[in-house]
Amino acid sequence: MTDTTRFTGHAALITGAARGIGAATAARLAEEGARVLLTDADPDAAARTAGALRARGLTVRARACDVTDRAAVEAAVAYAVETFGTLDVLVNNAYACSPDAPRFEDEPDDSWARDLDATLTGAYRCCRAALPHLAASGHGAIVSVGSVNGVQDFGNHAYSAAKAGLASLTRTLAGHAGPRGVRVNLVVPGTVRTTAWEGRDAELAAVRRLYPLGRVGEPADIAAAVAFLASRDAAWVTGATLVVDGGLTAVHAGFRQAVRAAGDAPR
């Protein structure tokens, strides 16, 4: 059962909140009592998501925010503090992911820069702008959304490097922010059924077989992990990486399947 009081009196800002993991996290925190600012580079989609949540009686606002723009980030943080009177939680969920070139030597500079700017530097900008307010709240928390791509090779060079960078930023910022009363943690999802996978049901079905728990993730799975790390239930957790991947990186399902197939093959 969801605790509907863990975030009562708290305010949260979520980037990339128009859909998928960001939208599910906004819903989860708001359901638990938070006042939530949904930000996204797509303001119309953010407004639609916020409207749907308000129709359920939840306290949410929406605002356009491109995390590659320092001024936009600082304005969004200022708006959250002005609107809610505090800022207690920051969730870094915005990202960019460019397809790889067939050969690494043909990778263009612009796609590399775009992925790192939105995924890693964008989180840095948000943390920098929010940290003084999170410290002032007395119980501030930052949760960034990483990826198994930052742990193992699943393709997407720039996106993966940026997600790996988030893990390092989580550790270094935890050391800096801890004495200021702010906790900093990272959630590492595996494959999650979001709009990025729309129209790719065959691929999802194939990927599902690699997960020991027998399914891919849902946005709500990640939202629950973010809510835990942002809440008082994780009051003594900082600098941590919480892997939420259905066992993908713990168990080499492909290896097991290959061994079984070889053992069952006629000789």
Q: Which residues are catalytic?
A: 159
- Whole-angstrom distance, CA of residue 140 vs CA of residue 96: 26
Distance CA 112, CA 107 (A): 8
Helix or strand or coil: residue 40? strand
- The whole-angstrom separation of Cα 141 and Cα 182 is 5
Q: Where do runs of H (alpha helix) occur along 32-69?
A: 43-54
Gyration radius of the chain over CA positions: 19
Phi, psi of 85 (to 5 degrees): 85, -5
Longest CA–CA span in the chain (Å) reads: 73
Token pair listed for 245: 């991947």
What's the CA gap between 256 and 192, in Å, rounded?
Answer: 23
